[in-house]
Structure 1
Amino acid sequence: MIRRSIDRGRIFIGLYLLFTAALGFYLSSSLRMTTDVGVGPGFMPKAVSLLLFLIGSALVITGLLNEDAEPPAVLKVRPLLTLFAIVFFGATIEWMGLVIALSGLVFISCLAHRGTKVIEAVSLAAFTVAFASLVFVKALGLTMHLLPLGLFG
């Protein structure tokens, strides 16, 4: 006997993708799809939104028609730490400077791996900050702050 059940995880992810697709269509509605010479600025956002809509619809349908759904998995914290590290970097690079933002990114990412030792995390952060400072500030001449604004006067 086949037991049908609803896979809530797939349905929620599908609904999220449908919402994101609708938002993408709405925000790109004023952009033109084509120009006189080729592809316009609205083509790519609408194409990605269409892809999100198709994937979201497929997930909702398969979530409703699921046979013998497995129980929902336990929330994993380690992948969320990596995502939080990226968000931390993006949120702090402007006002905290490259040194603190990049060090925070490395330290938070190292928390996601059980085997990382403190000395490894510190050396990785120091090397990454030094390398990024040399490449982006010195070699490319980008105007970014290395330390927080107003820290030294």
Structure 2
Amino acid sequence: MALRIRSEKDLGSGLLYLLLGGAGFAIARDYGLGTAGRMGPGYFPTAISALLLLFGAVTLVRALLVEGPVIGAVNWKGLGLVTLSVCLFGALLSGAGLPAALAVLILVAAMASEKFALGPKAIAAMIALVLFCSIVFVKGLGVPMPLLGSWFAGTIIP
């Protein structure tokens, strides 16, 4: 009995999950695991990698058992804009600060959608998301990201 791939999308997704899960395990193997009560630096990457491997195995089995769609055309514009938005976020974070970098990330990634329209609702949602992320990550969780980057040092707040 020959195996037949019934869903190309599930096959591709499953292989990607397995690849990322295996890479996560390989990277985290040199870190201390710790325990559930006192987690080491390798605990979270190992747990996430295990979940990715599990999802990958389930998705591969699904690709063999359940009929699914074939892989269609690649949305190069969307792929490029989302990738560009993440790269711009990383490049702008220290110089412009978290709110400005997030605004650029959101605007550039949103342009990947065919339904993108910059209206009052979209602007209000972007401002709310930027404020929420700034408060939660910087103030609430203490993640060391600047609210105002080095480009604005001394210009806005002396």
TM-score, normalized by length of structure 2?
0.59
CA distance 1:20–1:115, change in 2 (3 Å):
closer
Displacement, 1:50? 1.2
CA distance 1:24–1:122, change in 2 (3 Å):
closer
Is the 8 Å Cα contact of residues 5 and 69 (structure 1) preserved in structure 2? Answer: no
Query: Deviations 1:38-73 (Å, cap 9, x if unpaired)?
Result: 43313222222111111111112221x235432334
SS in 2 for 1:25: helix
SS in 1 for 2:151: coil
Is the 8 Å Cα contact of residues 6 and 68 (structure 2) preserved in structure 1? Answer: yes
Cα RMSD over matched residues?
Answer: 4.3
Q: If you compute each CA radius of gyration, which structure gives the higher value, 1 or 2?
A: 1
Q: Distance in 1 between matches of 2:54 and 2:15?
A: 11
Q: Distance in 2 between matches of 1:70 and 1:131?
A: 40
Displacement, 1:116? 2.3
Size of the alignment, in residue pairs? Answer: 144
What percent identity do the matched residue pairs reach?
20
Displacement, 1:17? 1.2
Find out whether 1:116 has 2:132 as its counterpart: no
Q: Distance in 1 between matches of 2:99 and 2:33?
A: 41
Q: Distance in 2 between matches of 1:143 and 1:12?
A: 35
Is the 8 Å Cα contact of residues 99 and 131 (structure 2) preserved in structure 1? Answer: no
SS in 1 for 2:65: coil
Aligned equivalent of 2:52: 52
Q: Distance in 2 between matches of 1:131 and 1:60?
A: 40
Aligned equivalent of 1:66: 65
Aligned equivalent of 2:38: 39
Where do residues 1-153 of structure 1 align in structure 2 (5 Å cutoff)? 4-34=4-34, 38-41=37-40, 42-63=42-63, 65-75=64-74, 80=79, 81=81, 84-98=84-98, 100-111=100-111, 112=113, 114=115, 116-117=117-118, 144=146, 146=148, 149=151
Corresponding letter in the other structure for 2:48: V
Q: Distance in 1 between matches of 2:120 and 2:147?
A: 26
Is the 8 Å Cα contact of residues 93 and 149 (structure 2) preserved in structure 1? Answer: no
Corresponding letter in the other structure for 2:68: A
Q: Which runs of 5+ in 1 are unaligned?
A: none
